[in-house]
Amino acid sequence: MSNTEAMVTITRHGQEGHVAELVLDRPSAMNAVSTAMAEALAEATAGLAADRSVRCVVVTSSHPKAFCVGADLKERNSFTDADLIRQRPRARAAYTGVLDLPVPSIAAVAGFALGGGCEIALSCDIVVAGEEATMGLPEVSVGVIPGGGGTQLLTRRIGWSKAALLIFSTKRLSGAQAVEYGLADLLAPAGTARDQALELAAQIAKNSPVGMRNAKKAMRLGSDVDLRAGLEIEDACWRATAFSGDRAEGVAAFNEKRPPRWPGE
């Protein structure tokens, strides 16, 4: 590892910095997730989650040919069972940190997104895949299983049969195939995934911060319950939004035919 590598960096975009670009930045290892990188990712996502000025997060990579190639197997090759047990909470915190971001999140996938890299993308709400992307979960080929949420997130995203095919066969998908399977949502011409993701994030960031946070909360909490319970979750999130300053400002701005100035509360 180079001493100059930051592991994870954050860049703010837009006049008011409402879009946060979280850059996977360990290029010497194609962003393989080491213990140190997992800790950096967990710390970065915790900071973003606590920052009320953030309205959308875009996860990108500093490596031109890799989003993230998964766990650092070179590091793990020297691990004892005790080492692996000690690392596990740190690894889980990294992936759940992305998953638990309270604002909309977008993965901009260019190049390899394998194993944990694919799971980081799956932890985002929207996946923009470049034509040059290669996505897959190859864990069973090295004697483990997806452990960053892959067995759960992929199944929920694309259904049991397609998820079983990808996980059991370790099949790798191109960007176009990933969109066809439902693993990714938008296909970008080669070299443009980051630009498209940031453009989409800027569009999303124009909307009510309170509305977006509560819409995401309702969607996440309601996704695995029955419809009646889901509607109760939605109602609670609606109430948390309807009596906010954002709702008052949104209605006023609409009637005054001007852009809203969201108080964010």
Q: 18-37 burial, b if ≥16 CB within 10 A, otherwise e? A: bbbbbbbbbeebbbbbbbeb
- Residue 251 makes CB contacts below 8 A (sequence gap 6+) with none
Q: Which of 32, 40, 71, 91 is catalytic?
A: 71
Whether 75 is catalytic is no
Task: Give the model confidence (pLDDT) of 39-90 as tens digits.
Answer: 999 999 999 999 999 999 999 999 999 999 999 999 999 999 999 999 999 9
Q: Which of 144, 129, 241 is nearest to 179 (CA)?
A: 129
The model's pTM is 0.95
Whether 116 is catalytic is yes
Q: Which of 75, 139, 178, 197 is catalytic?
A: 139
Q: Which of 119, 132, 184, 197 is catalytic?
A: 119
Q: Which of 98, 105, 123 is nearest to 45 (CA)?
A: 98
**What pLDDT shows up at residue 70?**
96
**pLDDT band at residue 3 using 50, 70 and 90 as cut-offs:** very low
**What pLDDT shows up at residue 1?**
43
**Is residue 11's pLDDT more than 70?**
yes
Q: Which of 70, 115, 116, 150 is catalytic?
A: 116
Task: Give the model confidence (pLDDT) of 191-203 as tens digits.
Answer: 999 999 999 999 9
Whether 131 is catalytic is no
State the DSSP string of 214-225: HHHHHHHHHTTS
**What pLDDT shows up at residue 4?**
58
